Amino acid sequence: MVDVTSYAPRAVATTQISQAAGRLGVDDAIVEKLRHPKRIMEVSIPTKMDDGSVKVFTGYRVQHNMDRGPAKGGIRYHPQVTMDEVIALSMWMTCKCAVVNIPYGGAKGGVICNPKEMSDGEVERMTRRFTSELIDFIGPEKDIPAPDVYTTPQTMAWILDTYSMNVGHLVPGVVTGKPVEIGGSLGRNEATGRGCAIVAREALKTLRIGVDGATVAIQGFGNAGSVTGRVLQSMGAKVIAVSDSRGGVYSPTGLDAAAAEAHKEESGSVVGLKGCSAITNEELLTLDCDVLVPAALENSINTSNAADIRARVIAEAANGPTTPDAQTIIDEKGIFVVPDILANAGGVTVSYFEWVQDSARFFWTEEEVNQRLESIMVNSYKEVLAEAERSNCNMRDAAFNVAVARVSKAVALRGIYP
């Protein structure tokens, strides 16, 4: 088996798209277009630090495809951001938007930094300068950023303000995932986790496992993971383990997801949650459970641990948490995987709702948002499941088949200019 460290995310994403195109018989010229991002930007971000010095950060924005609509994708702040990773994430965003059939193409952005070691003022100044460097390439009809790893609604507010000040008027649709007070959508902060919980529930139904009492383990108890746990718990499931970067906690009789959130908010970690025993991130992945939710970073499930996974369902709240070789092992074990481009598409779906509301200047209730999200996630799950059954393949291949078919059709209809 290939070691996890040998995987280049762009190579994985390109292979997944190419293989889906091959299964579908897509024209070679269209495949060639989909293998290459439309636009790749690398910018320097000189930033005044609190001590008076200037530090130059490196930022990226990649727009993969815009044949179905404006580019859409988050911006992450992380010390391990790479161009290769951002390109791969932009390609997966194209597929994610297509699999839930919303009119966007894919984009992604990132800045190499450690926001945990920066003051709010330093992060704000870096964000505003990054925005100014991208000013000609983003916009509500061009490319619409959103929060991702270590970026927040406040980050989006700074981008919105910087962009609006440069163009001379308020443009709420330039970003999504922003605060409700300046055009954000109710339900957006919970959308990724809620969408993941919905498809996890549907997967349990497919396997004829009742959600009531189903056991859930969540690796990565950030926004997506915590909301997934809380929503599944509200459906009747039993959350038995959660973890973050510092470690995890385990309770075979179940723990309170909301209490775990509160404890993490107070202490900075789920570690030490009352009534639970300590568990490592690796131990959590191999727990005997009905649903495993990898909600951390890429490649969490790899050849070193895939054979030991005992979950019935894996619902991928993170992007790219399973390596290709690990997927092969998981398929051999008969584990049902809801892939990332479907499982975590709730966030971009409600981002689309936010963009629509901003365009109309007419806002929906949280109940309306959640109902619309439920409808799209359930219908998309059923379409992917039908494709898996029709093509006798796993859900990941089926999801890419659905997505690539839609994007390829758009490319074919529009043609290659000139």
**CB–CB of 415/34 below 8 Å?**
no
**CB–CB of 146/350 below 8 Å?**
no
The length of the chain is 418
The Cα 399–Cα 390 span in angstroms is: 12
The per-residue b/e assignment along 179-214, b for 16 or more CB within 10 angstroms, e otherwise, is eeebbbbbbbbbbbbbbbbbbbbbbbebeebebeeb
Sheet containing strand 71-78, edge to edge, reads 39-48, 54-65, 105-112, 71-78, 143-147
Q: What letter does residue 416 receive in the DSSP assignment?
A: -
CA angle 132, 134, 138 (to 5 degrees): 115
Which among 38, 108, 238, 264 is annotated as catalytic? 108
**Measured in whole angstroms, how far is the alpha carbon of residue 364 from the centre of its chain?**
23
11-16 long-range contacts, CB within 8 A, separation 24+: 12/88, 12/320, 12/323, 12/324, 13/87, 13/88, 13/91, 13/92, 14/91, 15/324, 16/95, 16/396, 16/400
108 is catalytic: yes
The Cα 218–Cα 273 span in angstroms is: 15
The Cα 136–Cα 41 span in angstroms is: 12
Find all residues with CB under 8 Å of 250, minimum gap 6, and list them.
Answer: 240, 241, 276, 277, 278, 279, 283, 284, 287
- The residues that bridge with 76 in the sheet, in sequence order, are 110
The residues annotated as belonging to the active site are 108
